[in-house]
Amino acid sequence: MTAIASRCRSLTAGFAALTACAAFATPASAAAPVASAPAGCPDVAVTQPFAPWGDRADYFLAPNGGLERGASGWALRGDAEVQQGNEPFYVVDAGDRRSLSLSAGSSATTASFCIGVEHRTMRFFADGSRSSSLDVDVLYSDGAGKDRSMRIATLSGSGRWAPTDIVPMIVNAMAAERGNAMSVRLRFTPRDRGDWSIDDVLVDPYRSR
């Protein structure tokens, strides 16, 4: 039987501090290969890409979140471009060879994907200049169909490739009134001076097992 416990994540490793606390279902068995949504969003294949850093949650890759299909599905602005060179941990596939380059004045937005209330957090890999920071926004439509955005994190550069903090999605709470399925995109925008590289944008479909 699965027990319900309060689960708080302290989001401080290597980037700006964030804290997300919510009631989570404590898993009673090992992770399954597929995350099943209560309703709405289709099942997706999941892995545990951040396990080497102590995060054993299941994640799925956002659409072309590893940039291995070039800029397909992404909306790139300014000097944003797909570059040769993967994050050095190769958590998705050892054969991956691309990542995303961002500089001041640029932005990059993923293709849309489905989330429900269970999609509580996201995380990715980044290499940002110590003197700069990176805004992460969720883009969505409100109940009246008007385009909205919500800032879910501002991350500080660490000067090297590293997993970002675990970032709360926040807007997932709105999915409950939409059949537990809402379409969102993620936008990444550097602040200040300094270049950023990002790779392997991953979303956590938290669920009891």
- Rounded to a whole number of angstroms, the CA Rg of the chain reads 16
| Each residue's pLDDT tens digit, 31-43 | 445 554 456 899 9
Q: Quickly state the pLDDT bin for 83 (edges 50, 70, 90).
A: very high
Mean pLDDT of the chain, nearest integer: 85
Dist. CA 15–CA 18, nearest whole Å: 9
Q: How far are the Cα atoms of 34, 61, 89, 182, 187 from residue 100, in angstroms, in the given order?
A: 27, 15, 15, 26, 12
Centroid of chain to Cα 68: 17
pLDDT at residue 16 greater than cutoff 60: no
Strand partners, 19: 10
Highest mean pLDDT among 15-19, 180-184, 193-197: 180-184
pLDDT in the model for residue 35: 55
Which one has a higher pLDDT value, 10 or 198? 198
| End-to-end Cα, the chain, rounded Å | 10
Q: How far are the Cα atoms of 18, 38, 86, 89, 175 from residue 200, in angstroms, in the given order?
A: 20, 25, 9, 10, 24
The CATH code of the domain at 4-205 is 2.60.120.260
